[in-house]
A and B are shown apart, each in its own frame.
Chain A
Amino acid sequence: MRSRRAGKLLWFAATVAIVFAVGSYRQFTQTGESVHFALNYPAEGQSAGGLGARGADGYLVVDVARTGLIKKILQPNVINLSTHWLHNAGDTPRRIRVSAEGFGYPIRWESTDKTWNEEQLEIGRTLDPGEDVTVDLFVTLPRPLPPGDVLASGDIVVHDADTGDRLTVFPVRIVRGAAAAAEAGDCCAP
């Protein structure tokens, strides 16, 4: 009876340990594939957005060396940048348009918003102050990946769809390796 109980406890502990191991692996890969960030607008310069908490870093570095094994084999060249969220941090209701500048590679955009216009890259409705909307973009790099430490570099820009004003600019660097990631961080930090 005691050994049965010990066995149950062991299975329980082993499962918790496996979940921790998977969580650690996920932590390793989360800056290499399906990278999430939040972006406030309007914001001056680079003062908005960043990995994790809203408004944290003001730039985004994707390190392809941290791509998970399966993705590395099957589709290493498509990088997903996912907003959690585009947040109207101002006090004016706005319609917004997004664009990607300087990447030099094809980018596909998606949004779960009903009013998303895929051709204009616009949210069709007016977003009230404090309101969020999600937009994903998929950067397709050449395969095999380009040589060098910096694979791609560009900005995600949020515009006022009605006036054309640039509401925020969010630098993104797609790099290879920790050293390049640290360097890219230095170059982009506000």
Chain B
Amino acid sequence: MHPSDASTPPAPRAEALRRNRFTRFGFFFLGLAIFYAPFALLGRLVGWIFPASMPGTWVPDVHTNCMRMPVGWLAQPWMWGWMGNNPLYFTPIILLPIAAVAAGPLFCGWLCPAGSFPEFLGRIVPDRFKWDFKGMVEITSVRYGFLVGFLIVPFVAASVCCSFCNFTWMQNTVSALFGNVAPWLYISTTGVLTIVIWIFLLGMFTKGGRGWCLFLCPAGSLMSLASGVTSRFKWLPRVRHDATSCASCSNCEDVCPVRAIDVSKPHESPGAAPMPQVKVNQLLCNVCLDCVRGCPRGCLRYGRAQ
């Protein structure tokens, strides 16, 4: 259907979108089981396969598969040897970026509980209480500015790696649910700042709820960089837009948790091509597929470019 044929945009596919979010909610628990104590299945598996290289008496938890330190070590060649101590240190710097090249940063959109926790919590907050940084902030610049700052700040000041770790506080939250509240008994300035920014400021009270992922997650930035740079290869699956039937209803823009979609209305002047412009910023997209499921005309899809 040509966009000019659409007098009124159709209703969003609310049911499909709801189902997608519900499925992602299921993956949230899968992520907890894989990465977080008391389950930490991945840590246990790797400890079982590589008993010599894994500290077998550690209680495996999210720190066993740290997502932040190895990214910081990329700029510190003297730490590269240290990575051999634990094969899981290669996850955020090799395995996940390769997976992101192959299929987009699916880990971020589907399997990262620390990322989706504030997003899901944010669903209980009405949109009118949320701020939308889109249009106010150059999201891509801030995102990769943080990554660069994260990499080089240890050379001039203290690292912001462990002291501002949302994964730790996700783990502390899970541990508390299983009866271990000890980590919550000690208050640190950076700990409180992390919780406030991650859960509230850039989470529940930010449109999309993924502000931390966008601005302050080095692993997510690295994956999105790998995914975004390679997205020009049309044979790689990414979220793609087909303009032929788009009514530029902006539903995709609205439901995107990482504010990765820009919709510009079709030209209204006579003679100008009335094709809407929908751009998916692959440097931000986390392949959650909310836009794909939520598009009333099926103009967005996840796959190769046609």
Note all chain B residues with C-beta closer than 8 A to A67.
189
B228 to chain A, nearest CB (A): 15
B59 and A33 within 8 A (CB): no
A19 and B186 within 8 A (CB): no
B192 and A27 within 8 A (CB): no
Is residue B244 within 8 Å, beta carbon to beta carbon, of the partner chain? no
Q: List 25 A-B contacts (CB under 8 A).
A: A7-B138, A10-B141, A11-B138, A11-B141, A12-B141, A12-B145, A15-B141, A15-B142, A16-B148, A19-B145, A19-B160, A20-B149, A20-B157, A22-B164, A24-B158, A26-B160, A27-B157, A34-B188, A68-B190, A71-B189, A72-B189, A75-B187, A112-B58, A112-B61, A133-B57
Note all chain B residues with C-beta closer than 8 A to A40.
none
- List B residues at the A interface (Cβ < 8 Å): 57-59, 61, 137-138, 140-142, 144-146, 148-150, 152-154, 156-160, 163-164, 182, 186-190, 192-193, 215
In this complex, how many residues of chain A approach chain B with their Cβ under 8 Å: the count is 41
Q: Which single residue of chain B is at the shortest CB-CB distance from A15?
A: B145
Note all chain B residues with C-beta closer than 8 A to A29.
189-190
A15 and B146 within 8 A (CB): yes
Note all chain A residues with C-beta closer than 8 A to B193.
70
For A1-44 the 0/1 string (1 means CB < 8 A from B) is 00000011111111111111011101101100110000000000
Contacts known (A12-B142, A16-B145, A68-B188); A23 close to B157, Cβ less than 8 A? yes
* A67 to B191 alpha-carbon distance, docked (Å): 13
A71 and B138 within 8 A (CB): no
B186 to chain A, nearest CB (A): 6
B215 to chain A, nearest CB (A): 8
A115 and B188 within 8 A (CB): no
* A95 to B292 alpha-carbon distance, docked (Å): 57
Note all chain B residues with C-beta closer than 8 A to A74.
187, 192
Is residue A78 within 8 Å, beta carbon to beta carbon, of the partner chain? yes
B160 and A22 within 8 A (CB): yes
A103 to chain B, nearest CB (A): 17
* A35 to B292 alpha-carbon distance, docked (Å): 47
A70 and B186 within 8 A (CB): no
Note all chain B residues with C-beta closer than 8 A to A10.
141
Note all chain A residues with C-beta closer than 8 A to B188.
33-34, 68, 70-71, 80
* A69 to B190 alpha-carbon distance, docked (Å): 10
